[in-house]
Amino acid sequence: GINKFDFSKVKVHSIIKDKSHNLWLGIYQKGLVLIPHKPNNFKYIGYQSINNNTIGSNSVMAIHEDKRNNLWVGTDGDGIYGLDSNGKLKKHYLNKEVTTIMSIYEDSNETVWVGSYLNGIASLNRETNTFNFDYEIKDENAHKVERIYSITEDANKNLWIGSMGSGLFSMDLETGEIKDRNIGTSTGATYNPINKVQNFWINTLLYSKSNKLYIGTYNGLGCLDLDTNSFIFAD
């Protein structure tokens, strides 16, 4: 690190400052040294932090900053931590349902949603500090979908839910209706067998301004055109 570099014993041959105000030093026979404009660009929160250990020692699985500048941190086995904009702990949620959290998302109504590893999806009631897990997401065999790995929202107030093993679902935020979205709309007289989500093991979802939902799976990247409800794009 630069704090161990003894500048009294080196020959500086050149100095430049970049657009971010960092200094770059050319050192004779010792290479290049960067002196950042800011001594530390990162603030560490968590295990082994002397002054800021507010989220325990468990693995962090999900992070989301809401519209109120609160930071939500989901962990593997230690529930959810809510931090204010200064990193101060506001609330730690931990019970038998809120244990391992894989995804966190705040929708356009400022409702915070969490996806758990074993208990499906839940919404947070900020007034009572309780979670509602009473959302019936069923797979093609009518089994409860338990592992929710990604949550996002489109421009039409649909919540999109990616699961690990059961594929893709949507929830109408106005009506609460939940739909299985693993099959796209058939085009033409014949059903196209490839017009479906390419893999039921979904890690991440990304909604684009072009009204497309990009789907990161265990078998590469897929995309659903929300205008046509099709995984196949017309030429």
- The pLDDT, as a whole number, for residue 218 is 94
pLDDT value for 4: 61
pLDDT at residue number 206: 98
Closest CA to 21 of 39, 42, 37: 37
Query: pLDDT tens track of the chain, all 235 residues?
Result: 455 667 777 888 899 999 989 999 998 887 888 888 776 666 777 776 656 678 887 899 999 999 999 999 999 999 999 999 888 899 999 999 999 999 999 999 999 999 999 999 999 999 999 999 999 999 999 999 999 999 999 999 999 999 999 999 999 999 999 999 999 986 665 678 889 999 999 999 999 999 999 999 999 999 999 999 999 876 5
CB 95 within 8 A of CB 79: yes
State how far the Cα of 182 lies from the Cα of 60, in Å rounded to an integer: 29
Per-residue pLDDT, 48:
67
- Host H or E run for residue 203: strand 202-207
Q: Which of 121, 108, 194 is nearest to 162 (CA)?
A: 121
